[in-house]
Chain A
């Protein structure tokens, strides 16, 4: 059954309109950040910038504490993701490869933990952190972000480990490897897509986190970029060039990470979501 050109036109036209609709906010963010101010405060929108300037980026980078907060965000995010990968690798190996009492219960625990309502637990967390005299420190943030992404990381890695044939490890062990050696040499390399998928997810979650750092770290030197961006917007509200430059600076790491890992990681995420 061949479709007529007209019948093919509709899906294609819809796809183009949708593409424009989805991309426009991202496009508008970057172009506003690069436009000369006269283009931004023009009564009619300037769809294509007449010139390119980096002054808005300069202003954003020069804003208070910017580089400190970049460092804070990177420290917190990378350590949270690294720690959760390490802990999840151990747990996922046990859940995927071993049979033991209570296995199902552990799985269920992590599935439930995945639904944890972190957004509404901020008051209790604030009290605990305050009692431990750890407000305005990066350590509690790191640990909480690690646990936020841990259940997803464990469950996803478990699925990846389970998908690797056991025979590969067995033959390595026949060849004289111990079990941990077999894991490191044989399984670990095959887990690369799973590790990318879970670390991408973890990175996004921790990089984005807002409510917890909002309440825990009032000291401007101990904050992270989401807070900076949000307060930047309040302070520079009418300076949309600077605000969009700040938003771009915040978004660029994630956009780059997505672009680099997209093929493997998103494929991994979707295949994980589909297989029943």
Chain B
């Protein structure tokens, strides 16, 4: 979602995605005169109209426009003179045959995989830890998680730049103090891997609270009888985890992984604000690449094509989960 950022973008959008269909209310007030009945029949559509109109106008239209732009040769000159020059699939051909595009795509996929694995692994472990703690320690850790969750993305990005600052940065001081003296004045945004390292720490730090707090909440809904039954069957700690906790949490973990894949893959603010895709464009992920090609280098048509390809890659990455959701929806019909 929206939810960058939000991440954060942090956006606990799970609620909407995960809800199955609650039984719809079949009842209506007693049928009145004919006009009233007709109005009642139209009522749900009238109630939905503003939401649908807004979504179609402000989301659907940009999507269509993006599609149209992607088949145009639209650069600074055409933009200023309001020229429309169709060039068929040239943009796509150029993107798909350029080494850059594939390098960025591969980089984006690896970046997403590394971040999501770290977020899910650490988030799950911390969520399970929350479930094991006494109430005071749980409150303490929850406060830390909620404060992190509430940190706005741009503010967090700025703070991380300060933590990793070349001079007077805490991270370099700690590394130096630990005996790694070559790191005393290390420039983190000077190299591809070190920049990605900072971005990854930032994203993982900011994303864990959503997973951990939700996972803890999920564990509280596991019926205690399941554990008693497992204990009667002689299950130890690990066994009761694999036979009770994990199966119970599986749908939740699947949904959360799906959301995190979307959020991390689309992450723009963190990647862009840390170093604007630099050094030497080496940390551009697909959304940043589309932005820099399209807006920065003023190849708007090309940028639109790349952004559609980005959506295609995202759909491919999430297709497994989407299939499950769509199948469930059909089952409920």
Contact = CB atoms under 8 A, between A and B. Distances in A.
A103 B23 CA distance: 12
B122 to A, nearest CB: 9
Given A11-B132, A201-B11, A272-B16, 9 more contacts: A16-B137, A23-B143, A40-B168, A87-B54, A115-B262, A119-B4, A150-B55, A159-B19, A251-B152
A41 to B, nearest CB: 6
B25 A96 contact: yes
A94 B155 contact: no
Interface string B19-35: 11111111111000000
Most buried by A among B6, B155, B329: B155
A192 interface: no
12 contacts: A15-B141, A45-B170, A107-B21, A119-B267, A120-B307, A123-B304, A124-B65, A126-B300, A170-B27, A248-B155, A262-B146, A273-B15
The 7 A-B residue pairs with the shortest CB-CB distance, nearest first, are A155-B16, A272-B15, A273-B14, A162-B22, A124-B66, A148-B2, A120-B307
A87 B1 contact: no
A211 B155 contact: no
B50 interface: yes
B307 A121 contact: yes
A171 B330 CA distance: 34
Contacts of B255: 273
B62 interface: yes
B193 to A, nearest CB: 21
Interface size class, chain A = 35 or more
Contacts of B28: 98
A204 B155 contact: no
Nearest to A120: B307
A103 B12 CA distance: 24
Interface stretch (A48-56, A62-70, A139-147): A139-147
B229 interface: no
B173 to A, nearest CB: 6
A127 interface: yes
Interface in B189-231: 205, 208-209, 213-214, 217-218, 221
A184 interface: no
B63 interface: yes
B186 interface: no
Interface string A117-160: 11111111111100000000000000110111111101110110
B44 A258 contact: no
A266 interface: yes
Contacts of A208: 4-9, 152-154, 269
A25 interface: yes
A204 B6 CA distance: 7
B173 A90 contact: no
Interface stretch (B97-105, B110-118, B290-298): B290-298
Contacts of A185: none
A248 B273 CA distance: 17
Given A121-B63, A147-B55, A251-B152, A179 B29 contact: yes
Interface in A72-114: 87-88, 90-91, 93-100, 103-104, 106-111, 113-114
Interface size class, chain B = 35 or more
Contact of B325 (A12, A111, A147, A150): A111
Contacts of B295: 122-123, 126, 215
B44 A98 contact: yes
Given A123-B303, A150-B55, A243-B158, A91 B6 contact: no
Contacts of B92: none
B72 to A, nearest CB: 10
Most buried by B among A127, A159, A163: A127
Contact of A123 (B11, B133, B152, B300): B300
B17 A114 contact: yes
Contacts of B8: 204, 208
Interface string B44-63: 11011011101100110111
Contacts of B311: 117, 120
Most buried by B among A109, A117, A121: A117
A32 B129 contact: no
Contacts of A262: 146
A28 B151 CA distance: 13
A95 to B, nearest CB: 8
A201 B146 CA distance: 13
B333 interface: yes
A114 B54 contact: no
Given A26-B151, A99-B24, A113-B59, A210 B269 contact: yes
Given A32-B162, A155-B19, A173 B25 contact: no
A275 B19 contact: yes
Contacts of A8: 134
A23 B47 contact: no
A118 B59 CA distance: 8
